[in-house]
Structure 1
């Protein structure tokens, strides 16, 4: 049989007819336009024409998802005219598994159905066999059959089928959904040439090289909280959501904006009408159970979609993925990645590229990365089931020791007077970067705060007690300058337990003293007293003169805050003597400042002011080492001068101290400055300014959780008389 097809492109394997017996020089021309089978010949014998069966327009798409919610920005982007009018419209929807790429594509294609009068084709490029992508030749065969080509007439091979496919859709308006694409080459083989066609690709990879084919890229991320709540409401019903609004919000957070997670949760709630949202939240809050609860078999499973992406990673990327699943915080940089994996920064390029290409890791800003919360749980789960306990402990120790080194460098700049403790590192330094100055060091501590606090907890829970204590102890400049009382409490409680388990009384005493001061700031006087009493016992047993003086100093601070200025003066004088004998002049000056402050409060204004002046002068000499207390001393001196009736000099000292606290960017110090300015305003008879300064100080103290400082200010603002 000879079949001749007219058109601008001859399908492979079908050749123009040459008249038999006339030779290649014989004329055989066809003018005009013909559609369908055409033969132009002399006498060639019998010819049979075979037409493919008449078929309807192919509409292969699955139904649009019932609870599709709020992808307006992405839908608008899909509606945008194509950038290359001479090519088919190619749009790549990329994002990690379960984020809703296919739902978005189906919703848009159904919405735009009228634009594609000649049909909609669909292919799942993930393939029928796990780990083996679909063969483009097979997909092209399916497409051609859907377009009316008889199976027996299909040519073999990707190239011939692709050419016939392009011919078949030339001049037609067809939409093609290529779902779960693996590679750009796989997609490229399936692209029509017709500008009237549109191809939408969904993929867990980035497929950047499709840019050369005119692709537009849309990154499909998690739903926001409002859209997630709407999806849940559609599936579960308004009545149940309205009955438990707080659990509903927490449920949305725990699902991380992931449509597949929300769908699994909604299906469970819908099938169990008596199950309360609060019960579901309580279950999902258990991290070790969350992935399991969000996976209902293989068909709808958060775990399985992440597993698929993980299995496609090269070996080094899988190892990096598991290592960072053990990272104790939400975000990390390349330095801690290098420490955790033991790889150099250059060697991290390939695994990092692979993880980002698979949408398993997101670069949030230059050199900093984060997992989606559910992906982080999956990475940790993979580490738990793949790596040995010894390997996991090693990775965690590498991470914690990296933070110990960096935090130690920051502490050396911010609080160089902090007494260190011996620590023997198990692993060599992986990062030699240094901080330029105190400000940069303090900013780094703030930026890494969640990671550092998480690392202390993880190390303590993992039995890395010495590392846990060392890291927690070195976090003092963060708490001294910035407050963060909840983190301070969590860190010091973990450190106290670690010190006790290690059997290190000196480490226990140091932590107990610091924790006592936190309880004092929360006006938890009995707990603070008990901790300081324990400190005194431990120092007495060991004969630690510095420790004994330090405990007396803390007891003086506590007594002054409670309004017992006489006890405060006695303890401060005891501390000053102890520090002087032990050879710590800066600490002796701090104790003297406290003694003078107490003296002013009990009415010994002249003597107290003299002590405060002397202490301030000494602390100014130590300003490079301890700028916070040098600035604080000026504020204390200003308040003492207010009491002594020296308003002009008081204003100068308070202004200078406030400026220095602003330079240090310390909310704690700024609160102290506002408090001092309130005293000055009261002495000058300026009630409006006094109220303004009290309110500013109160706001900062309350934000830090410093109830001991906040309570008297609040009383002055809300009491019967208030500032006069």
Structure 2
């Protein structure tokens, strides 16, 4: 190891994490005792390790060998090696190479773009550097519109390389009209960013899963618009390597017990405010009217948002003098003083002046965006509000972005600052007729209903109703008519908007729209669970359906809502809802509805371990479904009858039911449910000692579930494969299957993880 290489390693010490630092320091100490060559390859490898922490691990192994330190490793049995590996020495026995599976989940990079015209705040940036080095939780607080978010984004974007495992962002909506975001809602978004598609229904469980998912990860989490310490605390990651930054109008001193550091942000001084204005409108223009620049700065009262709004107006209108903009602020402040926003007249004046310069169509869109029950939106929302084609709506949104009234998040996503949103809502009430505002909002609900209905027809066609009350929706859904993945992703991405619109429809007494929208969200609740949200919305949908006076709608809300209750672990209440659905179906004379209610009632009995009652319900449901020729429904009931037989220790009775269900469901082109039949068939064959046939069924089921993107059922098949390995007296393979199954159960937040944890513990102890 040559002197130059050792010097490079010393420089690299400052660029790596604590674990790599200790390793590299140890190697330097050994190398200094055995300086005998200046190998160009060694220098090249160490240079690469200094720039790339992934390479550092492999180089560490190689350097150990080159410094006369021998490390002997043995790999045997079913062990596997993943990641970057460097072999030094002999390789004995067979070598098998496997290509690692590519991850379908990219590393989260969620931070909004940094502000283009950020200036000043040097003292605050220095303070952030110091506080960020001392504490993993940092709270930045200050008045509305003072520029907290801009400050943090400018600072954070210079530090992203320190967080290679992800940079996440969540708006906690502390001052939004719909109220602060719940912990469960925010945790759901954060967990889904790491590929967790099954979120626990309880906030405490979701928080525990979040801590498990983030353990050992070097991540950054920015929480914007927080209102209380209690809102933030469940979101703190489970690792000391993570950093959390919080922006709030409140001090949030309660986070001090969590080790938080605090930085208050005040108003811009005159020099910084003038610099911000100058950077946007240009040096020459600002220097030509220094007195007017001072007047604008004074009118904006040190609020960064107000300065940015005036600067955007001047930049968009080169012929407008700075003096004229200052005079407009004076006029608007006097004329509309009654429309203060959270006591901030400077923001009010700037917003009024910005809106006065808009053309008619963008101004109308701005007002109507204020009636939305959510603060993040896209071109489809704008198109529905204005009754214009999406391309025209995009042009109108561009005009609002140019005026600095709307923030562009990328990928057709936009949002309001909460003060701007309040201003738009005030203007909507003052300048839009009640009929026009209501019609615009109704079109938005109808568009979401049309899009959700299209997703439902793609994902769960057997559940979809023939027609929704979606009016004359002009724009198509944002996914192809045969793209299941895109349809499910859209439902997942817009769940917050969909829920807000259900609540809005209820408040507006649009009962038919309310229950139909809940009904169309069925694939979201079926595939992605969201049991707590599903419970809330089905209760609202049930009340709306009853007011609407449509028995079939009431029955659908009862049966689907009962399934959400069953998923929440409430079999008694679930059974009561199914019983109501059954009685209603008997009154109306619908055999299909009776069978559906009995099928669900049997599920509730099965969850409560009442196997005799469960089998009786399933037998009657099967009889009715076969009588009316509902083949798919009959086979789904056979699946549950087979599950009851397995629970009673009668796998020989389950096999014919499962084989029939698999054949029919494949013929009906329902591979997802056919895969469930195969999974249970593998379990039954294992119990009967038919190991080869069991392995074949489980392997085929695993492939079908991978194709359907069902992480939960992939985990279930792995668990059943572990049971098969145990039956074949292969505990090593069983333990490997159980561990992988447990990891996937944890990923989707399934309650099954407790059962698998016990299986892993049992086998690990027996091996030890």
Q: Structure 1 residue 99 and structure 2 residue 99: aligned?
A: no
**What's 1:121 paired with?**
none
**2:407 counterpart of 1:362:** yes
Shift, 1:210, TM fit: 7.7
Counterpart-to-counterpart distance in 1, 2:565 and 2:436:
38
- Does the 8 A contact of 2:281 with 2:311 survive in 1? no
Q: 1:389 maps to which residue? A: 434
Cα distance in 2 for partners of 1:552, 1:526 equals 15
Conservation of the 8 A alpha-carbon contact between 1:184 and 1:209:
yes
Q: Distance in 2 between matches of 1:570 and 1:384?
A: 58
- Cα distance in 2 between the residues matched to 1:687 and 1:206: 69
Shift of 1:502: 1.4
CA distance in 2, matches of 1:619, 1:511: 26
Whether 1:514 aligns to 2:569 is no
Q: Residues 70, 721 of structure 1: CA spacing in aligned structure 2 closer, same or farther, 3 A cutoff?
A: closer
Equivalent position to 1:553, from 599, 602, 606: 599
Q: Which residue of 1 aligns with 2:287?
A: 190
Change in Cα spacing, 1:453 to 1:307, as seen in structure 2 (3 Å) is same
Does structure 1 residue 204 correspond to structure 2 residue 251? no
Q: Distance in 1 between matches of 2:645 and 2:760?
A: 26
- Please tell me whether residue 526 in structure 1 is matched to residue 591 in structure 2: no
Instruction: Identify which of 410, 416, 421 aligns with 2:461.
Output: 416
> 1:466 Cα deviation (Å)?
1.0
Aligned mates of 1:698, 1:638 — CA distance in 2: 19
Alpha-carbon contact 2:603-2:614 (below 8 Å) kept: yes
Residue 449 of structure 2 corresponds to residue 344 of structure 1: no
**Contact map agreement 1:321 1:355 (CA 8 A) in 2:** yes
Aligned partners of 2:415 and 2:151: how far apart in 1?
Answer: 25
Q: In the alignment, which of 645, 650, 653 is matched to residue 689 of structure 2?
A: 645
| Change in 2 beyond 3 A, CA 1:422/1:413 | closer
How far residue 681 of structure 1 moved from its aligned partner, in angstroms, is 3.3
| 2:531 and 2:567 in contact (8 A); partners too | no
Equivalent residue, structure 2, for 1:576 = 622
Indicate how the Cα distance of structure 1 residues 564 and 674 shifts in structure 2: closer, same or farther if over 3 A, else same. farther
CA distance in 2, matches of 1:181, 1:526: 67
Q: Secondary structure at the match of 1:424?
A: coil
The alpha carbon displacement at 1:718 in A equals: 6.8
Q: CA 1:541–1:701 in structure 2 vs 1: closer, same or farther (change >3 Å)?
A: farther
Whole-Å separation in 2 of the counterparts to 1:379 and 1:687: 64
2:673 to 610, 626, 629: 629
Cα displacement string for residues 3-46 of structure 1 (whole angstroms, at most 9, x for unaligned residues): xxxxxxxxxxxxxxxxxxxxxxxxxxxxxxxxxxxxxxxxxxxx
Give deviations 1:684-722, integer Å, cap 9, x for gaps: 344455455445555655665654x55654665678998
Question: Residues 449 and 470 of structure 2 are in contact (CA less than 8 Å); yes or no, is this contact kept in structure 1?
Answer: no
Give the Å deviation of 1:420.
Answer: 0.6
Offset, 1:457: 2.1
Matching residue within 672, 697, 709 for 2:716: 672
C-alpha deviation, 1:391, in angstroms? 2.4
Q: Residue 338 of structure 1: CA displacement?
A: 0.8
Seen in structure 2, the aligned counterparts of structure 1 residues 515 and 100 have a Cα distance that, compared at 3 Å, is closer
Go from structure 1 to structure 2 and tell me whether the alpha carbon gap of 1:522 and 1:350 turns closer, same or farther (over 3 Å shift). closer
Distance of 2:699 and 2:497 partners within structure 1: 36
Return the offset for 1:398. Answer: 0.4
Following TM superposition, by how much is the alpha carbon of 1:548 offset from its aligned partner in structure 2, in angstroms? 0.7
Structure 2 match to 1:502: 548
| 1:547 CA drift (Å) | 0.8
Helix, strand or coil at the partner of 1:431: coil
Q: Normalising by structure 1, what TM-score?
A: 0.59
Q: Distance in 2 between matches of 1:101 and 1:487?
A: 30
Q: CA RMSD in A?
A: 4.0
**Is 1:601 matched up with 2:644?**
no
Aligned-partner Cα distance in 2 for 1:595–1:484: 26
Provide the C-alpha distance between the structure 2 equivalents of 1:479 and 1:175, rounded to a whole number of angstroms. 50
Give the TM-score normalised by the residue count of structure 2: 0.56
1:102-113 to 2 correspondence within 5 Å? Answer: none
1:229 corresponding residue in structure 2: none
Is residue 682–residue 720 contact of structure 2 (8 Å, CA) maintained in 1?
yes
Give the aligned partner of residue 298 of structure 1. Answer: 345
Specify the alignment match of 1:123 in structure 2.
none
Is residue 70 of structure 1 aligned with residue 88 of structure 2? no
Q: Is the 8 A contact 2:488 2:524 kept in 1?
A: yes
Unaligned runs of 5+ in 2: 1-118, 130-143, 153-270, 290-296, 298-303, 319-338
Residue 675 of structure 1: CA displacement?
3.2
- Is residue 505–residue 513 contact of structure 2 (8 Å, CA) maintained in 1? yes
Cα drift, residue 535 of structure 1:
1.0
> How far, CA to CA, are the matches of 2:150 and 2:723 in structure 1?
65
C-alpha distance 633-191 of structure 1, shift in aligned 2 (>3 A): farther
